[in-house]
Structure 1
């Protein structure tokens, strides 16, 4: 299990004449107990998964960032920015949640039963919350990082966690060699942006893709942590309409006749400038007339305006927080 020592989250000083000044830029070495210079790992989380650099850098105000250690004993060496040793102590007991028994009664605290760095929770409220930051797309970093959501030493663990698990989160002036290097350089990192969004599980989560969210409809790769898409409204286009082919017939008939009355005994067909069919005296001749009729079909639009329609599911709004 994990614990810590009293140096964690403390401000350190060194003497300068008659005054004590913050140990700005100091370095804390964690070493194996009883050994001279054998490093011992320290961690940014009490799950002991994200390592601190060794030595651990103090910030500009001499604050030691939070750190966690495995059970047992530890040796520490605290140097100033010039490498001069300010304090060295051996065989310090790591105090904190532990297996086994000890004074005070009761059992230890299982780290898996409490929130860890990066865990998300909803809260029916707004505003800042101690131990958390809002998933609002703003930034976190050290007190001199220019971060907009929280600029404080206590954001270091979350800074390193986000830097390592999501390479798409922007880091001010670009990503360096490591999260520890960027923290030491007083950079800030963007938080996930959960404003106006519901959360969904990755389509894989350690398994094969379920295919419930695909790039065809989701519009992004649903196997990538932090991917986002979707909108509150949609507008139909022709491709969204069901197939429909109107059919019908427009019929037109032209009927007519021409009647010619004549008095000639006979009028035979001839050649020349005028040629006519034969026509009997006092008789009538009828000519049929035929042809092709054309027309057009017109109508009135039914009043559609392509107004977007809502996609929003029944929703209750709260605030999304991320554990520091």
Structure 2
């Protein structure tokens, strides 16, 4: 009888004690980005009661909901949030960058409201998964950014090197370059690996080798001429200067010096007009008595005017370049062939 009483009492207290079901949301362990795809390093992550403007909602680092996390939470240097757990129900979140500037949301909303906490008691069947990886920037993704310095989560495509923390790499020497090292090692066999390529990318990274990054300095980017289709022939080795179906191939130049064969067909008129000419002359007139003629038989002699026969001179053009040529003109210097261009920095995702 006494045992039954205490058992009933214990059950009563158990039923009266608060019970919290733990769950999470897809933001847990996810990396946050701004509208340009740049990681939100050291960002603030606010968890708010659903339907309110700013009333805090507790988050915990354990599924038993006993070890509270600060609110707001802070992302790490790569913009990634820690793992956290929430009580079952709906919540609201808001994100601000490291300077406290709130991030933009659709329709100007002040955060994202009415997010369902996913967990065993919330019908999620084992907890919420992370974000769809296809919606995030993948390793090897190239990004333009209007700046010139380093960018968290990325390295610059500047022809320098990446590798492990003791590799001596010149762009970034850190363990977080492993994924990009492996990707580039497999994607482009022309990228130089210090000491030569070994059995695998993983082996080379473990051996503290470096790999050269794509070199986009002073270069525009164009699509491969085939990209999974037949080659379009818009870029050919004759003019591009490299095989345009090879990833990472480089070609082109900022200037061009024309050869004679590349100049449009033309001529320089240099004719001389020589229509021919004559030299006129008039014969002298002799009066009576000239040449010893005298008397009544002496007569005045008159000779008619005349001229020499017409003839050309055979004049020809000559110059320092030779007979029948004109003097050269122009300097033979290269001329610019650069399209209108604006410069930014090109990054590649670690």
Q: Distance in 1 between matches of 2:282 and 2:144?
A: 95
Return the alpha-carbon distance in structure 1 between the equivalents of residues 168 and 177 of structure 2: 13
Q: Which structure's residues are more often helix, by fraction?
A: 2
SS of equivalent to 2:148: coil
1:176 aligns to 2:202 (yes or no): no
CA displacement 1:255-276 (0-9 Å, x = unmatched): 4699999x9xxxxxxxxxxxxx
Q: 1:298 to 1:178 in 2, by over 3 A?
A: same
Q: Structure 2-normalised TM-score?
A: 0.51
Aligned 8 A contact 2:157 2:214 in 1: yes
CA distance in 2, matches of 1:102, 1:312: 59
Give the 5 Å matches for 1:126-141: 126-141=148-163
Question: For residues 291 and 303 of structure 1, do their structure 2 counterparts lie closer, same or farther at Cα, with a shift above 3 Å needed?
Answer: closer
> 3-state DSSP class of the match of 1:198?
coil
Equivalent residue in structure 1 for 2:343, among 292, 306, 317: 317
Aligned to 2:298: none
Give the root-mean-square deviation of aligned CA atoms: 3.6
Equivalent residue, structure 2, for 1:308: 334
Aligned residue for 1:157? 179
CA contact 1:128–1:134 (8 Å) conserved in 2: yes
**Match of residue 210 from structure 1:** 232
- The answer as to whether partners of 1:160 and 1:179 remain within 8 angstroms in 2 is yes
Counterpart secondary structure, 2:346:
strand
Deviations 1:180-220 (A, max 9, x none): 22112211010000111111100000000011111111111
* 1:222 and 2:248 aligned: no
The partner residue of 1:295 within 305, 312, 315 is 315
Mean CA deviation greater in 213-222 or 305-314: 305-314
Q: Deviations for 1:271-311, whole angstroms, at most 9, x for unmatched residues?
A: xxxxxxxxxxx999x99778763323368869633343322
Distance (whole Å) between structure 1 residues aligned to residue 160 and residue 226 of structure 2: 28
8 Å contact kept, 2:274–2:312: no
Q: 2:137 maps to which residue? A: 115
2:100 alignment partner in structure 1: none
Query: What is the CA distance between 1:239 and its match in structure 2?
Result: 2.4
Shift of 1:155: 0.8
Structure 2 CA distance for aligned equivalents of residues 252 and 313 of structure 1: 52
Preserved CA contact (<8 Å) 1:234 1:309 = yes
Taking structure 1 as the reference length, the TM-score comes to 0.55
- Which position in structure 2 is the counterpart of 1:75? none
**Partner Cα distance (2:148, 2:316) in 1:** 64
Secondary structure at the counterpart of residue 176 of structure 2: helix
Q: Which consecutive unaligned segments of at least 5 residues does structure 1 have?
A: 1-5, 7-99, 264-281
Distance across 2 between alignment mates of 1:191 and 1:210? 27
**Aligned equivalents of 1:199 and 1:246: distance in 2?**
41
- CA distance in 1 between counterparts of 2:278 and 2:125 reads 115
Distance 2:160 2:130 in 1: 36
- In structure 1, distance between residues paired with 2:282 and 2:236: 77
Question: 2-side partners of 1:296 and 1:158: how far apart?
Answer: 72
Rounded to whole Å, the distance in 1 between the matches of 2:231 and 2:204 is 34
Other structure's SS at 1:203 match: coil
- Within the candidate set 208, 211, 218, 1:196 is matched to 218
User: Runs of 5+ in structure 2 lacking a partner?
Assistant: 1-28, 30-122, 285-290, 292-300, 320-325
Q: Is the counterpart of residue 253 in structure 1 residue 279 in structure 2?
A: no
CA displacement, residues 226-277 of structure 1 (integer Å, 9 cap, x when unaligned): 001112222333223221134546435364699999x9xxxxxxxxxxxxxx
Q: Give the distance between the partners of 1:315 and 1:199, measured in 2 at CA.
A: 12
